[in-house]
Amino acid sequence: PTPHAGAAGGDRLVVVAHRGASGYAPENTLAAVDRAAAMGFGWVENDVQRTKDGRLVVIHDATLERTTNVKLLFPHRAPWRVRDFTAGEIARLDAGSWYGRRYAGVRVPTLQQYMERVSHNHQSLLLEIKNPELYPGIERQTLALLDKEGWLDPSHLTDRLIVQSFSAGSVRTVHALRPGIRTAYLGTPQVKELRAYARFADQINALYTKLSPGYVSAVHALKGPHDKTMRVFAWTVNGADEARRLDGFGVDGVITNVPDVVRTAVTAR
């Protein structure tokens, strides 16, 4: 992809590959990151959680059984929580076979491995801190790793990285620890509450069914912590009609499992 590419085919809408190009490759794996890159998409989204021995890994669910073969390898370890397994144990799991035989042997990436691949591909990252209530201090730990990998350099902070969470407290913590980072709150606060969110969140990333043109305008009327117009991204938008409708609402970005479908829909308008 074009470095820093966010817009779809020159269009203004930012298209983010949700959990990587997860409509075409197993979610939250390096294969899904590479698939997004091969399709020309510069933005990928992921989910970050923590292992028993304190390593950050990229996986969506709080448990391992949906997206790995953990039941086969560790049949007596129910309920197979991410936080009850070491990084070494998780590294042995197959995170690709559930999706398709050609992805057999694909692993759950560590956050470090994931970021190295995103950097290598010249992509940008929408990083979600997932279930932060389960992992005290995960915000500080994630930022330390991002810093070590060069992701908190000024060149990345402007347009290569956004940190998001469903937890307002987590987003607020990220903003307090490193005020330069662009942040997003995952949810749809009431319009009268938006001003409070604008103190620590640069954008609202909303479930698309909750959005309306009026809500998008209300967000756009505010400035975020970096004194720029607050933005709205919609998730998870996997249909051409929905993509066109949300583009019509004036959203700034769309998070999708099928980025090619969204790009085709909005450029064909």
The alpha carbon dihedral of 53, 86, 161, 244 has a sign of: negative
When CB distances are held under 5 to 8 angstroms depending on the partner's kind, the choice from ligand G3P, Ca ion, none that residue 235 binds is ligand G3P
Q: How far apart are CA 95 and CA 107, in angstroms?
A: 5
Measured N-to-C along each axis, helices 259-267 and 240-249 cross at an angle, to the nearest 10 degrees, of: 60
- For the question of residue 18 being annotated catalytic, the response is yes
Residue with tokens 């500080």: 140
Q: How many residues bind ligand G3P (CB under 6 A)?
A: 10
Residue with the shortest CB distance to ligand G3P:
235
Q: How far is the CB of 146 from ligand G3P (least distance, A)?
A: 18
Phi-psi region of 80 (alpha: psi -120 to 50; beta: other; left: phi over 0): left
Nearer to Ca ion, 128 or 247 (CB): 128
Residue with tokens 């956004």: 162
Q: How far is the CB of 53 from Ca ion (least distance, A)?
A: 24
The widest CA-to-CA distance across the chain, in whole angstroms, is: 53
Nearer to ligand G3P, 44 or 90 (CB): 44
Q: List contacts with Ca ion (CB under 5 A).
A: 47, 128
The residue count of the chain comes to 269
Nearer to ligand G3P, 99 or 235 (CB): 235
Nearer to Ca ion, 51 or 205 (CB): 205
Residue with tokens 């949906």: 66
Residues at the interface with ligand G3P (CB under 6 A): 18, 45, 47, 60, 128, 186, 205, 235-236, 255
- Residues known to be catalytic: 18, 60
